[in-house]
Amino acid sequence: MQALRENKSSQRFAVGALLFLEGTPATGIFLVETGEVRILLPTGREQRQLLEVAGPGTLLGLSEAMNGEPHRITAIAGDGTTVIYTPREEFLALLQRQGEFSMEIARLLSEDLHALYHKFKSISAHPGRPRQRALDEQLN
């Protein structure tokens, strides 16, 4: 991640400040240096659910910046949050120039995929309480 830190300055965010909003264009990536960022998943009309809290060393907006799609999540700063922002074009150029950096990004994406798989597996193992059938449905 040293490659992202070179020639970049940190930006401090106030508690509750929006880093990015789901549905908006992904213009770059964010490397969390200090503090924490709340990652919120859209669940319905203007409702969001806390997916996780990202700490120092976490890259945000990575997959969206790589494929040029809009953000799928919302990121909101917690207490003492500083991040390094790298514009998408600079990030993609860095991937082309530095093979070792590209491999590290591929590893991070793979870890993200595995973590999501295990999260989904955990949720699907506990689908909730079975629905009670009405008495007339039970008799038929």
Domain ranges of the chain: 2-124
Rg of the chain in Å (alpha carbons): 19
- Is the distance from CB of 78 to CB of 14 less than 8 angstroms? no
CA distances from 124 to 114, 118, 121 (A): 15, 10, 5
3-state helix, strand, coil in the chain (%, to 5): 35, 30, 30
CA dihedral (93, 98, 102, 103) in degrees, to 10, reads: 180
Confidence of residue 133 (pLDDT cuts 50, 70, 90): very low
Residue with the larger pLDDT of the pair 61 and 6: 61
Helix 99-125 to helix 88-97 angle (10° resolution) is 110
One-letter identity of residue 88: R
The single-letter code of the amino acid at 67 is N
Domain 2-124, CATH class in plain words: mainly beta
pTM: 0.73
Task: Pick 24 or 7 by higher pLDDT.
Answer: 24
Condensed to tens digits (0 to 9), the pLDDT of residues 24-72 reads 999 999 999 999 999 998 887 778 889 889 999 899 998 898 889 999 9
* More confident of the two residues 58 and 7: 58
The answer to whether residue 84 scores a pLDDT higher than 80 is: yes
